[in-house]
């Protein structure tokens, strides 16, 4: 964000678009760009179920059918990914793939990148007997599954939606040419 501010100070206007790699795709940066009116493009995954994910269903109270469980996305820890859980903002809760409500429990604050991030914590009250527990919970988990949501979740969703459009993909394809060409030239002159 300081780079964008320096561009505005130097040239009297901000860039209309900002294309970057995954190293700059934090929620704080996305929010800062949006506040500055800069259209932001970076690889970011949506945390909400997308088409093709069996967790995306019309009624989140209904469980994902057992035959679709193998297609539920996994995170790097091989647990069910956050994108298997549906957020319902009006009820201030999530729904798990089994259709169970995960109400808001508390807000936690943590330092991230020198800034304080507020995370809302949602927890399943009881996962006892759940057929997906082995795929969902950590082995040492004593209580239900936890999902967190920080204050930048909405801007992350807007960025993911922008990147998923044909126009967004077309715009982003230019990033490598813009960013990598100078490095290639510099390396070739040494």
Residue in this structure with the two tokens 């678009």, named with its chain if needed: 17
Task: Provide the mean pLDDT of the chain.
Answer: 89
Count other Cβ atoms within 10 Å, centred on residue 135. 16
What is the DSSP-derived secondary structure letter of residue 175?
A: H
How much is the average pLDDT of 174-183? 76
- pLDDT of 190 above 70: no
134/103 Cα distance (integer angstroms)? 21
pTM: predicted TM-score of the whole model, two decimal places: 0.79
pLDDT classification of 184: cutoffs 50, 70, 90: confident
Taking residues 110-138, what's their average pLDDT? Answer: 88
- The 10s digit of each residue's pLDDT in 21-70 is 888 888 889 999 999 999 999 998 888 898 889 999 999 999 999 999 99
pLDDT of residue 68: 95
Q: Judge whether 41 and 18 are in contact, CB under 8 Å.
A: yes
Can you tell me which residue has the tokens 């991230």?
112
Q: Give CA separation, 57 vs 7, 19, 54, 99, in Å.
A: 45, 33, 7, 10
pLDDT band at 132 (very low <50, low <70, confident <90, very high): very high
The token pair at 91 is: 């009820």
The owner of tokens 């206007």 is 13
Is 139's pLDDT higher than 90? no
The answer to whether the beta carbons of residues 85 and 78 sit under 8 Å apart is no
Tens digit of pLDDT for each residue in 76-120?
A: 988 999 999 999 989 999 999 999 999 999 999 988 777 788 999
pLDDT-based confidence at residue 176 (cuts at 50, 70, 90) = confident
**């960025």: which residue's tokens?**
159
SS3 18: strand
| Interval 112-134 mean pLDDT | 88
Contact yes or no for 31/53 (Cβ under 8 A): no
State how far the alpha carbon of 108 is from the alpha carbons of 104, 111, 119, in Å: 12, 10, 5
Whole-Å CA distances, 5 to 35, 162, 179? 12, 23, 19
In the chain, domain spans: 1-43+152-190
Of 38-47, 54-63, 124-133, 179-188, the poorest mean pLDDT is in 179-188
What is the rounded distance in angstroms from the CA atom of residue 33 to the CA atom of residue 39? Answer: 7
């Amino acid at each position: 964000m300081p780079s964008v501010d320096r561009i505005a100070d130097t040239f009297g206007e901000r860039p209309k678009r900002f294309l970057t790699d995954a190293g700059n795709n934090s929620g704080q940066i996305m929010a800062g760009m949006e506040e500055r009116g800069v259209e932001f493009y970076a690889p970011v995954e949506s945390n909400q179920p997308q088409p093709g994910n069996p967790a995306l269903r019309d009624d989140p109270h209904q469980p994902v059918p057992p035959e679709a469980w193998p297609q539920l996305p996994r995170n790097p820890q091989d647990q069910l990914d956050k994108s298997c859980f549906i957020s319902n903002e009006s009820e201030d809760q999530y729904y798990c793939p089994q259709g169970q409500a995960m109400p808001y429990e508390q807000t936690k604050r943590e330092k991230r990148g020198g800034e304080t991030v507020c995370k809302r914590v949602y927890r399943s009250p009881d996962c006892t007997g759940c057929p997906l527990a082995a795929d969902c919970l950590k082995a040492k988990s004593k209580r239900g599954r936890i999902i967190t949501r920080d204050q930048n979740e909405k801007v992350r969703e807007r960025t993911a939606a922008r990147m998923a459009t044909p126009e967004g993909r077309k715009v982003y394809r230019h990033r490598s040419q813009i960013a990598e060409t100078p490095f290639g030239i510099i390396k070739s002159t040494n």
